[in-house]
Amino acid sequence: MNVTPTALAGVLILEPRVHEDDRGWFCESFNQRVFEAAIGGGVTFVQDNHSFSRRHVLRGLHHQVARPQGKLVRVVRGAVFDVAADIRPASPTYGRWVGVELSAENRRQLWVPPGLAHGFLVLSDGADFLYKTTESYDPTSERCIVWNDPTLAIDWPLARPPIVSAKDAAGGLLEPAAGSR
């Protein structure tokens, strides 16, 4: 597996080795030992999720406050622009974000450590999005930062206004980090 660090501490792009021949291809999409070596520690995944979204749908930026989730995300059909935003107040990269295209074609995965906000924009006609989480979904702990937060200023590759849920449209703004007010 090729591992590429991003500009945010702990956020990694993971690319599996693909074995291809005239019959098709094979790749190991997850291996606990290899994954733990890549991130430098032990992780237990407790939940797998699968969502389908249509073109121009933007989901996020989601996070949980009481039980932060680490997420290992990938796309098995279609393509998305996937974003991790650093909202850890003590982090030197607080308020910054990284975005990467994940697609069935490039087979990339993104590791989003606990404590970051996460969202994605669908670039293809539709996308099947899979993710493993380190904590179960907790609706009482879930929060959303609005996708167009002016502090984060994410450069979404928008061809038109995105389609967002009412909950995501009502998301809050990123608060200044403690000590920077």
Phi, psi angles (nearest 5°) of residue 44: -115, 125
- Count Cα atoms within 13 angstroms, Cβ side, for 161: 3
Say if strands 12-15 and 18-21 run parallel, antiparallel, or are unpaired.
unpaired
pLDDT for residue 176: 65
Residue type, 162: P
What CATH number does the domain containing 47 carry?
2.60.120.10
62 counts as catalytic:
yes
pLDDT for residue 175: 80
pLDDT for residue 31: 82
What letters, b where the CB count within 10 A reaches 16 and e where it falls short, cover 130-160? bbbbbbeeeeeeeebbbbbbeebebeeeeee
Average pLDDT per 10 consecutive residues for the chain, totaling 181 residues: 91 90 87 85 93 97 95 98 95 95 97 97 98 95 96 96 97 70 33
pTM for the structure as a whole? 0.92
103: domain range? 2-169
Asked whether residue 95 is domain-assigned, the answer is yes
Asked whether residue 134 is domain-assigned, the answer is yes
131 counts as catalytic:
yes
Identify the active-site residue in 94, 118, 131, 137.
131
Asked whether residue 6 is domain-assigned, the answer is yes
Identify the active-site residue in 62, 63, 94, 118.
62
Domains contained in the chain, number: 1
